[in-house]
Amino acid sequence: MQRYPDKGAVIVTGAAQGIGRRLALGLAAEGIDVLIADWNAEKGEAVACEDAPGAGRRLFAQTDVADEESCRRAVAVATEAFGGVFGLVNNASIFSTLTMRPFWEIPGDEWDRVQAVNLKGVFNMTRAAREPLVASGEGAVVNIASSTILFGRANYAHYVSSKAGVLGLSRAMARELGPHGVRVNTLTPGPTFTEIERATVTPEQKAAMIEQQCLKRAGGPDDIADAIIFLLSRQARWVTGQLLNVDGGMVTH
């Protein structure tokens, strides 16, 4: 079976670095055209131009997922350049730049911005892409949450809440888009060590996280990207409204 539709692209938000970057390169390696939608123009352009194998074309569109009009522009760029959109991965997030602190010390405006990007960004982008996803006849949306919603990680309350919201939103959207042939799933990555150094994870904390996993190595962006690619593919054609936890068995869900 051919794994993907012949026509159309996948939009990956937050693909200028980390998991999103790895996913954009992985999709292109599978021959899929990708729109890299990220607010970071310098890094986003670099991913679009990066020397990497694969027949899939890569195009960058500067996008703020918290802004509805910006999302609509990104979708228009993808449909015009690639003739349609069959996949959307809502991966953009305020994450690696967050400072960890107890919930009573999180400034209110920081709480609001995290919800606006991490949760409303999923709402904005999926609304903007709905028509081409439906038109593709086999659209797939993958929303990236976090395994922290399954165990409630301390000192990240705004982040954990926003990602728990993504799970509820995904399930509701799966119900509403299913009758139109569009699948919507949530993927919860566990600790994933990308090219971005995070001051919030010390070597001792990293070792402690690995100790909690069934598989005793650090998770990397390829581990997550491959699972997302599965959910986008026809191999997952009967999977919708589900949560796929990808964390080396840190949480058995």
Ligand X SMILES: NC(=O)c1ccc[n+]([C@@H]2O[C@H](COP(=O)([O-])OP(=O)(O)OC[C@H]3O[C@@H](n4cnc5c(N)ncnc54)[C@H](O)[C@@H]3O)[C@@H](O)[C@H]2O)c1
Catalytic residues: 159
Can you tell me which of 115, 146, 186, 240 binds ligand X, judged by CB under 6 A? 146
Tokens of 56: 């899939």
The nearer residue to ligand X, 22 or 130, going by C-beta atoms, is: 22
> 9-13 and 33-38 as β-strands: parallel, antiparallel, unpaired?
parallel
What's the closest the beta carbon of residue 185 comes to ligand X, in angstroms?
A: 14
Is 157 a binding residue for ligand X by CB under 6 A? The answer is no
Question: DSSP for 235-247?
Answer: GGTT--S-EEEES
The full DSSP string for 130-173 is: HHHHHHTSS-EEEEE--THHHHT-TT-HHHHHHHHHHHHHHHHH
Residue type, 172: A
In the list 13, 115, 186, 245, the residue contacting ligand X (rule: CB under 6 A) is 13
**Binding residue for ligand X (CB under 6 A) from 10, 27, 39, 209?**
39
Q: Nearer Cβ to ligand X, position 172 or 196?
A: 196
Check binding of 162 to ligand X (CB under 6 A).
no
- Interface with ligand X in residues 183-202 (CB under 6 A): 189, 191-192, 194, 196
By the rule CB under 6 A, 242 interacts with ligand X = no
**Nearest residue to ligand X, scored by beta-carbon proximity:** 18
CB environment 51-68: b (16+ within 10 A), e (fewer): eeeeebebbbbbbbbbbb
Length of the chain: 253
Contacts 24+ apart (CB under 8 A), 76-80: 77/35, 78/9, 78/11, 78/35, 78/132, 79/132
Q: Which is nearer to ligand X, 29 or 135 (CB)?
A: 29
Q: Which of 34, 63, 82, 229 binds ligand X (CB under 6 A)?
A: 63
List the one residue out of 230, 222, 221 whose CA is nearest residue 140. 230
Q: In this chain, which of 4, 8, 20, 160 binds ligand X, going by CB under 6 A?
A: 20
Closest CB to ligand X among 40 and 185?
A: 40
Which residue from 12, 32, 35, 65 is in contact with ligand X, where contact means CB under 6 A? 65
Rg of the chain on CA atoms, in Å: 17
13: part of which helix (H) or strand (E)? strand 9-13
Specify which residues 37 forms β-bridges with: 13, 61
Restricted to residues 79-98, the positions that interact with ligand X (CB under 6 A) are 91-96
Is residue 124 part of the contact set for ligand X (CB under 6 A)?
A: no
Judged by CB under 6 A, the number of residues near ligand X is 28
Using CB under 6 A as the criterion, which residues of the chain lie in contact with ligand X when the complex forms?
13-14, 16-20, 38-40, 63-66, 91-96, 117, 144, 146, 189, 191-192, 194, 196
